[in-house]
Amino acid sequence: MVVGQIVCSRAGKEKNCFSVVIKTTDKRVFIANGKSIRLKKLKAKNPKHLNPTKTVLEQKQLLTNKRLRKALATFTGQK
């Protein structure tokens, strides 16, 4: 998984919810969706619990929570 990639959670409270990879380490992936998981407090997830999509967002879309929500709106079906 790469930074900016849209992923879908397979497990946990956010099961079947879309988020964006903000940061990666050896064993963890940090995600945010701009609403319940803000950029200031990222959620650490095991990469095995995420389904990656083929979509990777541009760096400018990762700067604010509002831009994250707008980018994920096409996946979640919201406006």
Whole-Å CA distances, 61 to 10, 12, 25, 35, 37: 24, 25, 21, 15, 16
pLDDT at position 78: 61
Q: What is the CATH number of domain 5-76?
A: 2.30.30.30
Select from 74, 66, 14 the least CA-distant residue to 35: 66
Where are the domains positioned within the chain? 5-76
Which residue's structure tokens are 């079947």?
16
Task: Kindly report, residue by residue over 27-73, the tens digit of the pLDDT.
Answer: 999 999 999 999 999 999 999 999 999 999 999 989 999 999 999 98
Reduced to 3 states (helix: H, G, I; strand: E, B; else coil), residue 3 is coil
How far apart CA 38 and CA 78 sit, in angstroms, is 18
